[in-house]
């Protein structure tokens, strides 16, 4: 049992104040919800104690008055309040947190839904994540993954595929005596989508390679190229930003509303500059530290990125000027000047730099505010398309300056952090202007062959 603090709402006031909400309306809503929760606890006879049963009773009582989406939202508010009480030792533990840990959940929403189910105990048990590699093929797949990682591969994508296959096999113990081909056929039937079919194909080839190490007579299944072409046609084409659209993005970023973090508009502006002018991946500029920026020589260092590559990138004077201005604003805002601290600082109330997820969310918001992306849905231009635009515009510059792009492609691949130029060619989207420049280059090259006989 967990002791409940006997006060008149002082703990609620302390909690609401430390949240620093943006509006008085938010303060009133939070205070009303938390006071209502406290009254329920006291009226239910749990003045000095509260446990998961009390939480369940409160949730069921609220479902009689609120729609489900409000119950889920306001349960999160109560969850954070109980975390606050536990942090200041007003209560020993947060019942929500205990349930999350017990049933292996990172978020509270699945726990709330389970508590509201007809059979609460069974619903909670169903929330437990299945063990890793616990199927009848689990040990074989685990050994293969460990072997690949031991010889230097990250193998993260293939491991995730194996885990999804393993979860399927754990639910189908009746297939234990079937061949891998039958297992994959049954798994493919679970979801008749192109992505799932392609995933089944990848897992089948990886399993065959692992078995072939033990038995050289095992044949590798040939990839279905028709399936690969269908999947490629289904993917969205990259969006190539025009210089005018990039200018619009930069201006929109500087006007981004952020009253609690005045540095954020300049942070987003600098992120877009690096994504467009240096072709950085989102994860690369998120992980930048102060030690990676070398203002004296006009370079930045990208360490330990994709394909285990590190590289040093020279930048133009205009990009270095933008970085220099941002670093000065960052210093004035009181950010840490330790060389290991993140380049992009969240603010005095934040304990760390921007995460990948938060950065992507903010940059997508900039795209939407600029009118380049619809307000909802996963459609329209992406943040990663800035990298595509960097490649296309670099090719255009070479054409305009009379430089042979073919000879420069290896340098561009190195700058982008690719293992070869084949990866770079994926980014080379043919635009009308690029096609026109290439045609003009070919016309100038072959003009002598089209001239008539002077006689």
* Residue 284 CB coordination number (10 Å): 23
Q: Are 392 and 429 in contact (CB under 8 A)?
A: yes
Spatial separation of the C-alpha atoms in residues 187 and 167, rounded to whole Å? 10
Q: Are 108 and 174 in contact (CB under 8 A)?
A: no
Residues in the chain: 455
Which 3 state secondary structure label does DSSP give 192? coil
Q: Are 118 and 158 in contact (CB under 8 A)?
A: no
DSSP category for residue 290: G
- Residue 130 neighbours by CB under 8 Å, 6+ apart: 167, 170
Single out the residue of 145, 166, 167 nearest to residue 154, CA to CA. 145
Active site residues: 281, 306
Helices (H), 20-171: 24-43, 52-63, 68-87, 95-102, 109-115, 120-126, 138-150, 156-170
Single out the residue of 87, 80, 4 nearest to residue 38, CA to CA. 4
Q: Pull the structure tokens for residue 415.
A: 């700058």
Which 3 state secondary structure label does DSSP give 50? strand
């Amino acid at each position: 049992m967990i002791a409940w603090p006997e006060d008149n709402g002082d703990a609620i006031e302390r909690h609401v104040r430390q949240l620093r909400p943006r509006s008085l309306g938010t303060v009133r809503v939070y205070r009303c919800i938390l006071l209502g929760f406290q009254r329920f606890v006291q009226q239910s006879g749990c003045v000095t104690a509260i446990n998961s049963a009390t939480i369940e009773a409160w949730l069921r009582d609220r479902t009689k008055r609120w729609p489900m989406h409000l119950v889920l939202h306001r349960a999160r508010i109560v969850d954070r309040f109980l975390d606050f009480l536990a942090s200041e030792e007003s209560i020993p533990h947060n019942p929500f947190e205990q349930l999350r840990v017990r049933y292996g959940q990172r978020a509270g929403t699945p726990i709330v839904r389970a508590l509201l189910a007809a059979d609460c105990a069974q619903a909670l048990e169903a929330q437990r994540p299945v063990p890793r590699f616990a199927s009848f093929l689990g040990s074989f797949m685990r050994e293969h993954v460990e072997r690949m990682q031991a010889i230097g591969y990250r193998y993260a994508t293939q491991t995730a595929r194996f885990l999804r296959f393993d979860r399927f096999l754990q639910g189908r113990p009746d297939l234990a005596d079937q061949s891998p081909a039958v297992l994959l056929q049954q798994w493919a039937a679970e979801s008749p989508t192109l992505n799932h079919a392609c995933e089944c194909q990848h897992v089948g080839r990886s399993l065959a390679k692992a078995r072939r190490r033990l038995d050289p007579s095992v044949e590798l299944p040939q990839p279905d190229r028709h399936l690969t072409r269908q999947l490629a046609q289904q993917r969205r084409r990259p969006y190539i930003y025009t210089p005018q659209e990039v200018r619009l993005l930069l201006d929109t970023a500087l006007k981004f509303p952020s009253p609690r973090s005045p540095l954020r508009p300049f942070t987003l502006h600098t992120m877009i500059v690096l994504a467009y002018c240096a072709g950085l991946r989102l994860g690369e500029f998120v992980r930048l530290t102060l030690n990676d920026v070398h203002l004296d020589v006009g370079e930045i260092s990208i360490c330990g990125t994709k394909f285990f590559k590190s590289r040093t990138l020279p930048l133009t004077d205009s990009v270095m000027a933008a970085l220099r201005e941002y670093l000065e604003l960052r210093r004035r805002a009181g950010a840490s000047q330790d060389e290991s601290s993140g380049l992009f600082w969240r603010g005095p109330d934040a304990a760390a730099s921007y995460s990948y997820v938060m950065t992507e969310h903010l940059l997508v918001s900039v795209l939407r505010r600029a009118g380049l992306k619809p307000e909802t849905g996963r459609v329209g231009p992406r943040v990663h398309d800035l990298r595509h635009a960097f490649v296309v515009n670099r090719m255009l510059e070479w054409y305009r300056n009379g430089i042979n792009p073919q000879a420069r492609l290896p340098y561009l691949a190195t700058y982008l952090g690719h293992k070869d130029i084949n990866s770079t060619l994926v980014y080379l989207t043919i635009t009308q202007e690029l096609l026109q420049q290439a045609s003009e280059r070919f016309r100038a090259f072959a003009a002598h062959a089209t001239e008539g006989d002077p006689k």
